[in-house]
Every structure is written in structure tokens, then in C-alpha cells.
Amino acid sequence: MTGIFRVEPGMTSVLVREIAALNPANPFYTPEYFAFRRAQGFTPWILINGDPAGSDVYCPAFMKSGRMRCSLEIPSAPDLPANGSFWKGIMDFCRLKGVSDLSVNSFCSEGGVIPPLHHEESRKARWEYVLKLSHSDFLKKMSKGHAYRVKRAKKMGVEMQRVRNRQAADAHARLISASMQRRQERGENVTTTAPVESLHQLVDSGAAEIFQAVLGGQVVSSNFILLAEKAGYSHTQGTSPEGMDCGAAHFLIHEIACTLRDEGKEVFNLGGTDDPDPESGLVKFKTGFGTATERINLEAARFRPASVASCLLRRLFISGKG
């Protein structure tokens, strides 16, 4: 798609609601997600690829300025041609605003390729796993291991509950740390701490809801789900050793999927991984919930639109004009 690139401030609630309505299956386009990023200290912008022959494409981006640097983050890049006006427009916008660090992510993206922009610092392949809830038998063809664990959890009396408060976010952070600790012990290079403040902000903004698996009054597995009109996105999941023993993590994904389907959602994105090994534990976990699970090939990349010194001079010039 070719067209005319333009940028609008993302502070107008009417425009934010409009792009959410145009992207009902993307939780990174909702007003609640915008509120979450503002709480983090980011300024929202909306990047627009105008198409005279068809529909415009909208893409949220979030800017934060420090004393020396200015960053721009795109959480969910659109699927647009690498040689189109959109990507050139982004780089022009970065230079205009004195952006020193550009991060292009692909959370909940439909696919596409991130082109090699100016001064690429890093790039990685990643994959997301999407469960199509509109499939009539979307959970009836689970792997034998997944089906066994779901049945085991139900037999042991594990139940699901939904909450949205900071206390539950704190419990979620502890379970994430427990899960990361196990992965670290298996030799994986992961951090064992969870971003508690960010989890609080997600809850406070209404961008996410916490689904918990409870056994004997104790939370044994927890999943942060970002919500949109037609989709849920698994932000993070954590499980205790007791939860692993009783199949709580598998049970929780199963129950969340059923709940989202009953509420009229069409897609449950199980989240992503940058591990290409189909035999890795995380990949086998995400792919074991049935043949209705689609693997999407994605990328993430970081760029340096200009040097820190030139960006700082540009920002000083902008502030001087203001």
C-alpha cells in the first residue's frame, strides 16, 4: 500500500476510540492501553498511512523524553509494504522530533516485515500463537498431555476466578518470578523479577484483567490478559510448583479460551516467543491447545534514527521555538 503519511497527537479520545473500533482484535489499540502508556510517562501519537484509494491504516506509537535521549516505541506494527510511505514517514517524524531510539515491536501484529531502516541496532525473529475461537472444535483436538492436565486440574478441584486489583497483580508477579526461576534453573537466560509497577498500571488503566487458577484457596497459576472488543492477549503467565503438579497452567488457558469465546471474542493470542525450537517447552505448551492454533511469523527491531547529540540539539531547537 502506498499513500500519504501523517501524524496526529494520540490525546484525542474520539480518534483513539475510532482506531480501536477499526482494530477490534488488537488490545494494543484500545483507549485503556493508551491510558496505561500515559501512566508510564509516554506521550501517545497516532501514525497514519493515508490511502486515497482505500482505508487509512492507523498505528499507535508512544514517545518518552529523558535528559539526553528521546525514544519512540511502536508496540504493534501494521502489515505494510517495506518500500511504502509509512516507514519513510516514521523516520522523518523521528528526525523532526529528535528521537534517538526507535523500537518497532509486533505484539498482536498480523504479520509483515520490518524494513532495514536507518542505523539498525538489533533485530530478532519472533512467533506468536493465536487460537481461533470461532472454530467449532477449537479445544477438542488438544494434545494428549494438555488434555490430561486439564482433566487432572478439574478433578483436583482447581477453579478459575477473574479479578482486577493490585493485590492480584502482586500475586501474579510472585508467580512469574517462580516460573522464571524454574526456567533459569533449566539453563535459560531469563530475568527472575517481574515489573510490579507496570502490572499495577495495567490493572489501574483497565487494559488488562487477571485470570487466576485457585486450589484450596491459594492462587496456583495466574494470567494477565489484555482485552479488546474481539480478542484477548496473554501478556504474562506465572505458575507455582503446586500449580505445575496439578496442571493449573493448562487448565487456566483452557478456561480463559472458553470464557472469551462465550463473551463473543474471536481470537485468543497465547503470546509470543523468540525460541525457534519447536520442541522447546514454551512452544510445545502454546501449540498443544489444538489444531485451531495458528503460528504467526513476526519480527522486532531497534533503530537509531540519529545520534544522541544531533537529537539533543534538535530538541533544544524545538523547545526554543516553543
pLDDT of residue 310: 66
pLDDT of residue 182: 73
Helix (H) or strand (E) holding 298: strand 293-303
pLDDT of residue 1: 38
pLDDT of residue 129: 95
Which DSSP string do the residues of 207-244 spell out, in sequence order?
SEEEEEEEETTEEEEEEEEEE-SSEEEEEEEEE-HHHH
pLDDT of residue 312: 62
CATH architecture of 4-119+304-321: 3-Layer(aba) Sandwich (3.40)
pLDDT of residue 215: 97
Starting at the earlier edge strand, list the strands of the sheet with 267-273.
Answer: 4-9, 43-50, 57-65, 70-74, 101-104, 293-303, 120-132, 267-273, 231-239, 218-227, 208-215, 159-163
Burial profile 161-174: b = 16 or more Cβ within 10 angstroms, e = fewer:
eebeeeebbebbbe
CATH for 128-297 (3.20.20.70, 3.40.630.30, 1.10.730.10, 3.60.15.10): 3.40.630.30
pLDDT of residue 134: 83
Q: Could you give the maximum distance between any two Cα atoms of the chain, in Å?
A: 68
- φ and ψ at 53, to 5 degrees? -95, -5
Burial profile 129-160: b = 16 or more Cβ within 10 angstroms, e = fewer:
bbbebebeebbeebeeebbebbebbeeeebeb
pLDDT of residue 282: 86
Between the alpha carbon of residue 20 and those of residues 60, 162, 216, the distances in Å are: 10, 24, 39
CA torsion through residues 11, 14, 19, 20, sign = positive
Q: How far, in Å, CA of 172 to CA of 262, rounded?
A: 25
Contact 245, 152 (CB under 8 A): no
pLDDT (tens, 9 = 90+) of the chain, 322 residues, equals: 345 788 888 777 888 999 999 999 999 999 999 999 999 999 999 999 877 666 788 999 999 998 888 999 999 999 888 888 899 999 999 988 889 999 999 999 998 889 998 889 999 999 999 999 987 777 778 899 999 999 999 999 999 999 999 999 999 999 998 877 776 767 666 666 778 999 999 999 999 999 999 999 999 999 999 999 999 999 999 999 999 999 999 999 999 999 999 999 999 999 999 888 878 888 999 999 987 789 999 999 999 987 666 666 655 655 655 5
CATH topology of 4-119+304-321 equal to that of 128-297? yes
Cell of 6: 501523517
Q: Where are the domains of the chain?
A: 4-119+304-321, 128-297
pLDDT of residue 314: 59
Grid cell 472488543 in the structure block, residue: 229
Question: What global pTM score does this model have?
Answer: 0.90
